Chain A
Amino acid sequence: MPDKTPLLKVTGVSKFFGGLTALNNVDFEVTPGEVVALLGDNGAGKSTLIKCVSGVYKPEQGGIHFDGRDILHSSPAEIREFGIQTIYQDLALAENLDVGANVFLGREKKRMMLGFLPVTDDEYMRVEAAKVLDRLDIHIPSLKQKLVNLSGGQRQAVAIARALYWNARLVIMDEPTAALGVPEQRKVLATIRTLKDQGVPVILISHTMQDVMDVADRMVVMRRGRVVANLPRKEATVDVLVKHMVGGADISE
């Protein structure tokens, strides 16, 4: 079993928007090498919690520690540097560019042409991108293709590859399978398992119960800004989870 010291530790976090309590005293942990599913209805607080972790929102109360470091007051860019990589549902890829250009977007590798002209080193970026994709066991026929010509699953893979290339120590995925066909969903889930096998923990936000049951080691259910259930894979059934989500189960659990 992997190390039980939590890599990410969220303690007693509360976040208010005006009079609305978006997060109410939330505790949340992720240990190395585990896949944690974050479940809940719309407005339950999943996205708010994720945004607090990735630094987009600043909670009013509580603490957030990553690898022992207090990241409560760190900027999104700093948090990314620390190794928390968030892959949003819209992926944030430039579809008019190729795979290498996307993996290195904003951090292009350059080389000197004729000794003084800094040009983008497209070959290097393609080769490096191919290596990461290999590591994820993903094969894209031509890395020179613009992303617009790739399938949804392949694009998702590029987004994961980008996160991984830049030192991902914790990957957060927001609805990664929502827009995909069944074979591609399987591929993404397989990628999540590959990440886990390599010791990179994943927080998976999903509405699709089947996905969650397939890959997650632990299920955290949120409702109205609170964590209402925290179940290991063995104790979780779709029934139990749904009850927690809609408030049918005993909350005092």
Chain B
Amino acid sequence: MAASTISGKRSLSRDQILDFLARSWAYIFLLGMVIFFGLTGRGFLTLANFSTLLVTSTMVALMAIGQTYVVITSGIDLSIGWTVGLSSVICARAMRDLVAGGMDIGLAMVIGVVLALVISLIPGFINGVLIARIKVPAFIATLGMFGIVRGAAFLLTDGQQIVGGLPNNLQDALRSFGSGSLLWWVPDQGIVFLTRPTGLPPEITRGIAGLLPFPLIVTILVIVVFGFILGRMQFGRHTYAIGGNQEAALRSGINVKNHLIWIYVLAALTAGIAGVLHTFRFTAGVPNAAEAALLQSVAAVVIGGTNLFGGEGTIRGAVIGALIINVLSNGLVILNVNPIWQFVVVGVVIIVAVLVNQAQAALERLKVNA
């Protein structure tokens, strides 16, 4: 250990700067983008916009969290985009039909949420069994599940693009959570607890911002719990071990098959949560709610430094990746750039991310062997 400290001190200058850049480029990139859009885009650097941006990011962030677990085990889950939709549709439809049947709104909402979450786990469980026990490649198994879940979601909407027609009182109840916030910032008034003030002049209303929107609180909880499990607990350690060397994990007595099933169930769970939040935010069930978010979630995972071959990755990285993608979209919209460019820009960022991560791995090896 002494030797490495000495050599580290000697060549502090270039190596350490390179190392720092490679390790924290995603944070620096995110900060740089915020500064850039803040200087160039009117209305980017406002509390209201940041609040919207963070709430919008929750979808990709939640999916990226589950996807990180999967990718660390060197798998991939292509089906979670439609699991989000399925969850959203079941949540909306169950609530609507239960309320129509005369049930109390509060109880109907609880049942709707639980039902949506539980049913979301089914595709995850089947994915896990196919991949872990029947040895179907993850790509194929989840691609098949992609089609099945998509079909199931649309069957439940009776072929419509949306489950709408929710009664107004139910919609209000959904909105009070989905668009609600624990604290509000109101210009000239300061911080207001829970209730968003109404009847104010439009220039003030425009400045109102949710400081702790409920969907964001839920997402932060998921980030903390999933990050803790992955980083600190035995389950996380085994997840990395399986991704690093499945044979080694097997020989050291880890129940690899059951573990993999859990991984895909967890991915489906984060997708289910994203779907429920979507229904609360938009007061409707939307089967294709996360059609675009699926690839963004994979992109977020990669940008966050997770190795697609498995064994490496963090929840923190996935969240930063999700933020980068959403800051990009938000900023480009504010700059009035044709939204088509988003695809190009995100694509470039993904490729750069992979290159930087490869360079970092090489750098680390060089440093150790020096």
In the assembled complex, the Cα of A107 lies from the Cα of B251 at a distance in Å of 12
Name the distance in Å between B202's Cβ and chain A's nearest Cβ. 48
A96 touches B240 (CB 8 A): yes
In the assembled complex, the Cα of A156 lies from the Cα of B105 at a distance in Å of 63
Contacts of A118 in B (CB 8 A): 233-234
Where chain B touches its partner, the secondary structure class is: helix
Instruction: From A142-150, A169-177, A214-222, give the one contacting chain B.
Output: A142-150
A106, A142, A145: which contacts B249 (Cβ < 8 A)?
A106
A119 touches B232 (CB 8 A): yes
Q: Enumerate 30 A-B pairs (CB-CB under 8 Å) in ascending A order.
A: A77-B253, A92-B248, A92-B251, A93-B248, A94-B241, A94-B249, A95-B244, A95-B311, A96-B243, A96-B244, A96-B245, A96-B312, A97-B240, A97-B241, A101-B237, A105-B248, A105-B252, A106-B249, A108-B237, A113-B232, A117-B232, A119-B233, A120-B233, A120-B234, A120-B237, A142-B4, A145-B368, A149-B364, A149-B368, A150-B368
A248 within 8 A of B: no
Write out, one digit per residue, whether chain A residues 85-98 have a CB within 8 A of any chain B CB (1) or not (0). 00000111111110
A141 within 8 A of B: yes
Name the distance in Å between B234's Cβ and chain A's nearest Cβ. 5
Write out, one digit per residue, whether chain A residues 112-130 have a CB within 8 A of any chain B CB (1) or not (0). 0100011110000000000
B355 within 8 A of A: no
- The answer to whether residues A105 and B4 also contact, given A110-B234, A119-B233 and a CB cut-off of 8 A, is no
B166 within 8 A of A: no
B172 within 8 A of A: no
In the assembled complex, the Cα of A150 lies from the Cα of B364 at a distance in Å of 11
User: Size of chain A's interface in residues, with CB distance under 8 A?
Assistant: 26
Contacts of A106 in B (CB 8 A): 238, 241, 249, 252-254
Chain A, range 157-188, C-beta contacts under 8 Å to B: none
- The answer to whether residues A141 and B4 also contact, given A97-B240, A105-B249 and a CB cut-off of 8 A, is yes
Contacts of A97 in B (CB 8 A): 237, 240-241, 244
A-B contact sample (11 more), CB < 8 A, given A96-B243, A97-B244, A113-B232 = A90-B247, A92-B251, A94-B240, A94-B244, A94-B248, A95-B244, A97-B241, A106-B241, A117-B232, A141-B1, A141-B3
B10 within 8 A of A: no
Query: Across the A-B interface, how many residue pairs have beta carbons closer than 8 Å?
Result: 72
Write out, one digit per residue, whether chain A residues 32-60 have a CB within 8 A of any chain B CB (1) or not (0). 00000000000000000000000000000
Name the distance in Å between B139's Cβ and chain A's nearest Cβ. 21
Going nearest first, the 7 A-B pairs with the smallest beta carbon separation are A106-B252, A96-B244, A96-B311, A94-B244, A92-B248, A149-B368, A106-B253
Q: Which residue of A has the minimal Cβ distance to B310?
A: A96
B365 within 8 A of A: yes
A77, A94, A108, A150: which contacts B245 (Cβ < 8 A)?
A94
Write out, one digit per residue, whether chain A residues 55-80 have a CB within 8 A of any chain B CB (1) or not (0). 00000000000000000000001000
Name the distance in Å between B48's Cβ and chain A's nearest Cβ. 37
Contacts of A93 in B (CB 8 A): 245, 248
Contacts of A110 in B (CB 8 A): 234
Name the distance in Å between B163's Cβ and chain A's nearest Cβ. 39
B232 touches A120 (CB 8 A): yes
Name the distance in Å between B279's Cβ and chain A's nearest Cβ. 32
Name the distance in Å between B135's Cβ and chain A's nearest Cβ. 20
Contacts of B253 in A (CB 8 A): 77, 106-107
Write out, one digit per residue, whether chain B residues 217-238 have a CB within 8 A of any chain A CB (1) or not (0). 0000000000010001110011
Chain B, range 1-37, C-beta contacts under 8 Å to A: 1, 3-4
Contacts of A150 in B (CB 8 A): 368
Contacts of B1 in A (CB 8 A): 141-142
Name the distance in Å between B235's Cβ and chain A's nearest Cβ. 10
Q: Which residue of A has the minimal Cβ distance to B243?
A: A96
Q: Which residue of A has the minimal Cβ distance to B72?
A: A96
Chain B, range 83-127, C-beta contacts under 8 Å to A: none
In the assembled complex, the Cα of A95 lies from the Cα of B246 at a distance in Å of 11
In the assembled complex, the Cα of A91 lies from the Cα of B248 at a distance in Å of 8
In the assembled complex, the Cα of A120 lies from the Cα of B234 at a distance in Å of 6
Contacts of B248 in A (CB 8 A): 91-94, 105
Q: Which residue of B has the minimal Cβ distance to A88?
A: B251
Chain B, range 280-333, C-beta contacts under 8 Å to A: 311-312
- The answer to whether residues A105 and B364 also contact, given A93-B248, A119-B233 and a CB cut-off of 8 A, is no
In the assembled complex, the Cα of A92 lies from the Cα of B240 at a distance in Å of 14
Q: Which residue of B has the minimal Cβ distance to A150?
A: B368
In the assembled complex, the Cα of A119 lies from the Cα of B235 at a distance in Å of 9
